[in-house]
Amino acid sequence: MTTYRSRILGVGAYVPPRVVTNHDLSKVMETTHEWIVERSGIEERRWVDPGEGGAEMAAKACTEALEKAGVAAKDVDMLIYATLSPDVTFPGTGVFVQRLLKLGEIPCYDIRQQCTGFIYGLAMADAFIRTGQYKNILVIGSEVHSTGLDVSTRGRDVTVLFGDGAGAALVGRATDENMILSTHLHADGTEAEILWTESPASRNHPRITAEDMEAAKHYPHMVGKKVFKQAVTRMPMVLMEGMVTNGLKLDDIDMVIPHQANLRINQMVAKLIGLPEAKMHNNIQKYGNTTAASIPICLHEAIELGKIERGDTVALIAFGAGLTWASAFLRY
Ligand code: COA
């Protein structure tokens, strides 16, 4: 059987135009620009205006990814849409992107691995391409958080962290040494409730009540310190795992693109492994945490800035709700 390898052919990103600064938030809840910057590094984020959803943002990011790849929409043969904020309960949001881009009757997956979703999607695309079953796969991370946040002092610990946006990569067949080298996926559900949104829930009858809303169960909740500790432990581990698999030393890696959850987490990860600051790209300062979209948005920016060039060895690392964590190593 012929097997193939996959590579990233093009990357696109889109964020909504509305900028929400820390000062804007401090007008509607008890918080300060200084508190948010000191704890998370975030200065501003983008929030959608009414009418704009995850599918529309994703379609814009995909259009750019296709342009960058020089591949026509008609040649895409699968779509993988990673999100924790689907546009509607069902169907999955991927089909709306398929419709917007007129991709034809290709298979569309929606996957739910939160901040790790883009790397899980990349691993799926890599596996499908390796078998030869599909040739050009759009892997998307797209999130609308702003419509589901508690924009009051009660929800300030979570609300100040999240932003909206979309990123996409077109993954296709490798034709030379530039390829996805390996992916490493993990999950551990034992502490799933330290970062979750409990309602609405199909295990409840009805799925949501006035009491649930009174108790803010329809908003995300996080045990911040536990999440922080897990992130700074798991991300270095999964980076090391990829280095061992590929026989790479730290010096061999040109750029690390970490999930953008908290600048302090990423700085601590770099310090723990001894990675020079110049070898990690962060842009959480401008966009906050866009969960599944954060890695493609950050990767896109690093490429556009010329910080990543063809042939560079790049590591993507993520940690998120579930708990899930993952890495992907690629020769871009
Ligand atoms: N503005 C001002 N004060 C705030 C605040 C805000 N936005 N949010 C919380 N506070 C207050 C708390 O109420 C608390 O007050 P208290 O001491 O009077 O009780 C105080 O600040 C400290 O809160 P704490 O939760 O202990 O802060 P922290 O140092 O743990 O930082 C996070 C909070 C959220 C920034 C940090 O825990 C974190 O980054 N965790 C990981 C987040 C993450 O990565 N999530 C996504 C994973 S994919």
Give DSSP secondary structure letters for 222-281: E-HHHHHHHHHHHHHHHHHHHHHHHT--GGG--EEEE--S-HHHHHHHHHHHT--GGGB-
Cα(242)–Cα(96) distance, integer angstroms: 34
- DSSP string over 138-193: EEEEEE--GGGS--SGGGHHHHTTB--EEEEEEEEE--SS-SEEEEEEEE-GGGGG
Provide the whole-model pTM. 0.96
- Please say if the pLDDT value at position 2 is more than 90: no
Q: Indicate the pLDDT class of residue 1, thresholds 50, 70 and 90.
A: confident
Amino acid 3: pLDDT:
85
Q: Among this protein's residues, is 184 annotated catalytic?
A: no
Record the tokens describing residue 96, joined without a space. 């709306």
**Is residue 246 annotated as a catalytic residue, yes or no?**
no
Task: Give the number of the atom of ligand 1 that is nearest the alpha carbon of residue 115.
Answer: 48
Known catalytic residue at 259: yes
Q: For 6-173, which CATH class? A: alpha beta
Per-residue pLDDT reduced to its tens digit, 281-310: 999 999 999 999 999 999 999 999 999 999
Q: Which residues line ligand 1 (CB under 6 A)?
A: 31, 35-36, 39-40, 115, 156-157, 160, 222, 224-225, 227-228, 231, 261-262, 265, 289, 319-320
101-143 residue pLDDT tens: 999 999 999 999 999 999 999 999 999 999 999 999 999 999 9
The H or E element spanning position 10 is strand 6-14
Cα end-to-end distance, the chain, whole Å: 26
User: Which position among 115, 282, 283, 300 bears the catalytic label?
Assistant: 115
For ligand 1, what atom is nearest to the CA of residue 225? 37
Burial label, 82 (beta-carbon count in 10 A; 0-12, 13-18, 19+): buried
- Tell whether domain 180-331 is in CATH 3.40.30.10: no
Please say whether the beta carbons of 181 and 330 come within 8 A: yes
Mean pLDDT for the chain?
97
What the block records as the tokens of 281 is 């790209």
Nearest C-alpha to atom 35 of ligand 1 is from which residue?
A: 39
Give, as one character, the DSSP assignment of residue 42. -
Give the active site residue among 22, 281, 289, 298. Answer: 289
Q: In this structure, how many other beta carbons lie within 10 angstroms of the beta carbon of residue 89?
A: 9
pLDDT range class, residue 185, cuts 50, 70, 90: very high
Q: How many angstroms separate the alpha carbon of residue 35 from the centre of ligand 1?
A: 9
Interatomic CA distance for residues 315 and 183, integer angstroms: 10
Residues of the chain with CATH 3.40.47.10: 6-173, 180-331
Question: pLDDT value at position 170?
Answer: 98
What pLDDT sits at residue 146? 97
The average pLDDT across 71-91 equals: 97
